[in-house]
Amino acid sequence: MNTSVAPMHLDRESCYRAVKSRDRRFDGVFYTAVRTTGIYCRPSCPARTPAFHNVTFHPTAAAAQSAGYRACKRCVPDATPGSPDWDVAADVAGRAMRLIGDGVVDREGVDGLAHRIGYTPRHLSRILTQELGAGPLALARAKRAQTARVLLETTDLGAADVAFAAGFSSVRQFNDTVREVYASTPTRLRGGRGRSGAGGALRLRLAVRTPFAGRALLAFLAHRVVSGVETATDTTYARTLRLPHGTGTVELELADHPEAGSTAFVPATFRLDDLRDLAAAVERVRRLVDADCDPVAIGDAFAGEPVLGRLVRELPGLRVPGHVDGDELAVRAVLGQQVTVAAARTAAGRLVGQYGVQVAAPAGGLTHLFPTAARLAEVDPASLPMPGARGRALVAVCRALAEGDLSLDRGADRDDVRRRLLEIPGIGAWTADYIALRALGHPDVFLPTDIGIRDALRLLGRDPSEAADLAEGWRPWRSYAQVQLWQTLSATPKGP
């Protein structure tokens, strides 16, 4: 058993205090490995707390696995949200983890991952090993093992289908990895417990930290539904998905989970043309619901704040609505410049009708994929349903995306993305920052000139001209302050 110490940024005594108190807030932030048993656990594992001298702490499940530990069968440590630090810091390691979760290593190898990040494979491997305790191959392997376990426990897919859906290149590799990580066979993990939905649907549960304001998230998404691409009911949100190997759909059941400091699950039903796209589909939907957010830390940061304290107490667990497709969000952000939500939604619907691709098996109002950036890059700006300057800006953004000059896959550096956006004529700070907020998952973005923010501050008895100064005290969670203020206008929401 490898008994190396944890990376420097994990303080042993602080981690051990979290383990002794079984603090669920740290589930997914670090993992506890026990020398005497050879297993690793989440901090909140209900088993008897091991002695301090018998434990090591690891920033990722992959790090614990690389050190020779297997997953605890009691607390299932990989069934947790990811670390919120990946979005807060947005450093090389965090950006790489987002792309690994999307399956980039499985599809493009370590070279492809390194190219997207802008480093050499060797340098990237060195950074990830130093920061996360494991290299890109080990991190991708851990992700595959987690996906395989979920599929075995919750669906009736055959072993071969599970293997390829999880990203393994062969059934043998799948079997060997499951045995090594979980000290069990795929058959034993399955145990006859789960079944997939009807009609080839895969019904999974996406872990989120609580509190989780699911109904507020649903209301935000429902108000912006684009006909053909999205649908919403009082309890569900559904949309089409463009994925690396084909297309698909997802339907989410969004409800409130007000209990703080635990893990809840968002039911998600996927229908995919190609099972190899499951990991990418899950990761993109997790971005949509801001699954890795730490709402307790955010609530604590705002608790004594005169503007936000009451709002957070009245509606804890608000998420920053993300998106499944950065390119699509960028187009919708440009459409929403200086217009109402209804106008932006109508314009998006026209683009879908004219330039979108009809899905092979339309169902439940989901009939089209949103137009690709490459398709819209070829459009004459004068033919678009918007003022000429905005049409030219939209086409220019799409050209930058289609030609690779701009990337919104969460692997790019946020500052570089903002700079490139602002270089495009017709793209201002509001649009660039709105894209960062929702497409890049930036937790610290604020839009002081946004009409909704100004209206919200007036309702709260504050001068809108104070917006930028007020927001300085809300770092590093200004994006969540933004959503809290928008929520005060829930009867007349703003933003595309």
Q: Residue-wise over 106-131: b if at least 16 C-beta within 10 A, else e?
A: bbeebeebbbbbebebeebbebbbeb
What is the DSSP secondary structure assignment for residue 184, as one 8-state letter? S
Among 15, 41, 45, 72, the active-site one is 41
Q: With contact defined as beta carbons under 8 Å apart, do 215 and 258 qualify?
A: no
Rounded CA-CA distance 202/275 in Å is 10
CA separation, residue 468 to residues 305, 464, 493 (Å): 15, 9, 21
Two tokens at 330?
Answer: 């960028």
DSSP characters for 12-26? Answer: HHHHHHHHHTT-GGG
Rg (CA), the chain: 22
What is the DSSP secondary structure assignment for residue 454, as one 8-state letter? H
Count of positions (residues) in the chain: 496
Among 78, 290, 292, 450, the active-site one is 450
Rounded CA-CA distance 250/281 in Å is 8
How would you classify the pairing of strands 202-209 and 263-272? antiparallel
Rounded CA-CA distance 103/279 in Å is 6
Q: Residue-wise over 244-270: b if at least 16 C-beta within 10 A, else e?
A: beebbbbbbbbebbeebebbbebebbb
**72 annotated active-site:** no
List residues bridging with 253 in a β-sheet: 236
Which residue pairs from 187-190 have beta carbons closer than 8 angstroms and sit at least 24 positions apart in sequence? 189/149, 189/152, 189/153, 190/152, 190/153
What is the DSSP secondary structure assignment for residue 94, as one 8-state letter? H
**41 annotated active-site:** yes
What is the DSSP secondary structure assignment for residue 376, as one 8-state letter? H
Output the CA torsion sign for 331, 333, 337, 343.
positive
E runs forming strands in 336-390: 357-363, 366-369
Question: Comparing C-alpha atoms, which of 332, 328, 367, 327 is closest to residue 346?
Answer: 332
Please identify every residue annotated as catalytic: 41, 450
